């Protein structure tokens, strides 16, 4: 599990080859990659997860699959990210094994973070820290949550509306990793945006 850095999350892209090309250009700046896809059919999701797993192996970047423990197992991904409706940490642990990276959404709640850490989550995520065009109705997290969660001893991820312009606020609040979709992929220059987000940890 990487300690600090950019946690890149894939945008919705209906073309597998194009998605892989877009990610390939940025992966050198990423500590972690998450495949997040709310739209594709199961066959396309498997194809994309396999392609991203091969790419991540090439770059030595762990691949996390959003929502779907079985897809993570099918492509031998490094782990899975679970939200409140995505199943239990314990179940994912049994399925994926002790080395798997299991991340948990904690939204705006230190109590959820305590529970997730006690259940063996490898990281906890708070967000949305800033307004997110990807998920406009996401619950809002406060910067104070990151300091409050420090004693849990689990890496803390910030997500939601993070861009090169505000990423240093997330890091200053205590985020160990910043999870970003639109702030990188929708930037005029995605490579510069990814580099800037990674550089916030230097
Ligand atoms: C790193 C990270 N943090 C939070 C989320 C959000 O997960 P969830 O609440 O399950 O929402 P969806 O992403 O599934 O819409 C995440 N995916 N990654
Ligand atoms: C999945 C998720 N959960 C809270 S905000 C968000 C979307 C993050 O995307 P962006 O970086 O484009 O705001
Ligand atoms: Mg989810």
Provide the pLDDT for residue 1.
Answer: 86
pLDDT confidence of 2, banded at 50, 70, 90? confident
In whole angstroms, what is the distance from residue 47 CA to residue 115 CA? 34
Residues comprising the binding site for Mg(2+)?
67, 86
Residue 125 CA to ligand 1 centre (angstroms): 8
Query: Is any ligand 2 atom within 6 A of the Cβ of residue 103?
Result: no
Q: The CATH number of the domain where 12 resides is what? A: 3.20.20.70
Domain encompassing residue 98: 5-199
Atom 17, ligand 1: residue with shortest CA distance:
66
Residue 168 CA to ligand 3 centre (angstroms): 26
Domains held by the chain: number: 1
Tokens standing for residue 176: 């160990």
Please state the ipTM of this predicted complex: 0.99
Taken in order 146, 148, 154, 160, is the CA torsion positive or negative? negative
Model confidence over 83-141: pLDDT tens digits? 999 999 999 999 999 999 999 999 999 999 999 999 999 999 999 999 999 999 999 99
CA distances, 182 to each of 110, 113, 116, 178 (Å): 26, 25, 27, 12
Q: Within a 10 A sphere around the Cβ of 176, how many other Cβ atoms?
A: 24
Residue 82 CA to ligand 3 centre (angstroms): 5
Model confidence over 70-91: pLDDT tens digits? 999 999 999 999 999 999 999 9
Length of the chain (residues)? 202
Structural contact between residues 89 and 82, judged by C-beta atoms closer than 8 angstroms = yes
pTM (whole model) above 0.90: yes
Q: Please report, for the chain, how many H helices and E strands are present, in that order.
A: 9, 8
Structural contact between residues 95 and 65, judged by C-beta atoms closer than 8 angstroms = no
Ligand 1: atom nearest CA of 125 is 3
């Amino acid at each position: 599990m990487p300690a600090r850095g950019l946690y890149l999350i894939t945008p919705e892209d209906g073309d597998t080859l194009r998605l892989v090309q877009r990610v390939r250009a940025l992966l050198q700046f990423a500590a972690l990659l998450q495949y997040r896809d709310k739209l594709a059919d199961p066959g396309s999701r498997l194809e994309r997860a396999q392609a991203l797993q091969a790419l991540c192996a090439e770059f030595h970047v762990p691949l996390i699959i959003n929502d779907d423990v079985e897809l993570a197992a099918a492509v031998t991904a490094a782990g899975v990210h679970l939200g409140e409706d995505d199943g239990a940490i314990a179940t994912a642990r049994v399925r994926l094994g002790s080395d798997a990276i299991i991340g948990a959404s904690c939204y705006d709640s230190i109590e959820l973070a305590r529970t997730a850490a006690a259940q063996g989550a490898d990281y906890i995520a708070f967000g949305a820290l800033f307004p997110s065009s990807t998920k406009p109705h996401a619950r809002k997290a406060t910067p104070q949550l990151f300091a409050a969660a420090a004693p849990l001893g689990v890496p803390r991820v910030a997500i939601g509306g993070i861009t090169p312009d505000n990423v240093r606020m997330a890091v200053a609040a205590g985020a160990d990793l910043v999870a970003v979709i639109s702030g990188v992929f929708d930037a005029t220059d995605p490579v510069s945006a990814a580099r800037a987000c990674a550089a916030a940890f230097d």
